[in-house]
Amino acid sequence: MGYGYYGIDMSYIVLVMPAILFSLWAQTKVNSTFSKYQRVRCYSGYTGSQIARRILDENGLSNVRVERVSGSLTDHYDPRTHVVRLSDSVYNSDSVAAIGVAAHETGHAVQHATGYGPLGLRNAIIPLTNFGSKLSMPLILLGLILNSYTLAMTGIIAFSMVALFQLITLPVEFNASRRAMRTLSNGMLSDRELGGARQVLTAAALTYVAALLVSAMQLLRLLLLVNRRRD
C-alpha cells in the first residue's frame, strides 16, 4: 500500500483516517451522553464528591482524598498521591452522569488498593510510554532519511509502547466501570438511574477503544512505510 496520485499517502487515508474519524465520533458521543444525563438529577441527592467519599469509606479507603480539579471531564485517580480528582461538572453535581463518573474514578482507587494487576502494569510502563511517544517519530524519520532500517525499527518499537499502553488501558477502564455499576446498584441509584449511568460509562469506554484503534493503525502504517522503503 503505497503513495497514490500526487503524492497522497494512501496508507494514511485507508488505515489512519477511519480510526481518527471513529475517535472524533466517540468523543462527540461521550460529550453528548454526559450532557444528556447531566440534566437528570439523582433521586438520592448525592453529589459526585459525596458518592465518591461514601464508596471509598465503604472500601476502607479513608486515606484516599477527594479533591476538585478544574475543567470538564478531567476526572481521574492519582495513585501517587492517593487522590480522586473530580472535575467542576462532577464534584458538586447531583446528576446521574456525575454519580457515574465519580463511582468510576473511585473504582480505580479500589483497583489500586487491591493490587489489580492490569493497573499496576499500566502504571509500570508509563515511563516507557512517555519515552516512546517523544522519541519514536524522530527516530523513524531519521531512520528513513539515513536509510537505516535498524534506526527506523527502533522508533517503531518505541511507538509500540504507546499502543501497548492503550491496550492495557482497556481492561483497566472496563473493570473500573463494572465496579462502579456494581457498587451503584447496591441501593445508591434506582434502576432507571443505573441505566443512565451505564450509558455514560459505555460512551466513555468508546474513547479508550478509539485511542487504541488510532495507535494500532498508526503503528501498522509505520511498519508498512518502513518496510516499503527497505524494499
What is the Cα–Cα distance from 212 to 47, expressed in whole angstroms?
32
Grid coordinates belonging to 154: 527502533
> Looking at the whole model, is its pTM more than 0.75?
yes
Residue pLDDT, tens place only, 172-195: 999 999 999 999 999 899 999 999
Burial of 24 (0-12, 13-18, 19+ CB in 10 A): exposed
Amino acid found at 1: M
Burial of 30 (0-12, 13-18, 19+ CB in 10 A): buried
Q: What is the mean pLDDT of the chain?
A: 93
Of 67, 105, 173, 193, which is the active-site residue? Answer: 105
**Strands across the sheet with 76-78, in order?**
65-69, 83-87, 76-78
Residue 8: per-residue pLDDT? 54
Going from the C-alpha of 19 to that of each of 13, 23, 210, 226, the distances in angstroms are: 10, 6, 7, 21
Residue 231: per-residue pLDDT? 58
Q: Catalytic annotation on 105?
A: yes
Residue pLDDT, tens place only, 199-208: 999 999 999 9
Residue 151: per-residue pLDDT? 94
Torsion of CA 131, 133, 139, 142, to 10 degrees: -140
Residue pLDDT, tens place only, 153-164: 999 999 999 999
Model confidence at 72, pLDDT cuts 50, 70, 90, reads: confident
Grid coordinates belonging to 112: 489500586
Mean pLDDT of 87-103: 96
Residue 2: per-residue pLDDT? 47
40: left (phi over 0), alpha (psi -120 to 50) or beta: beta
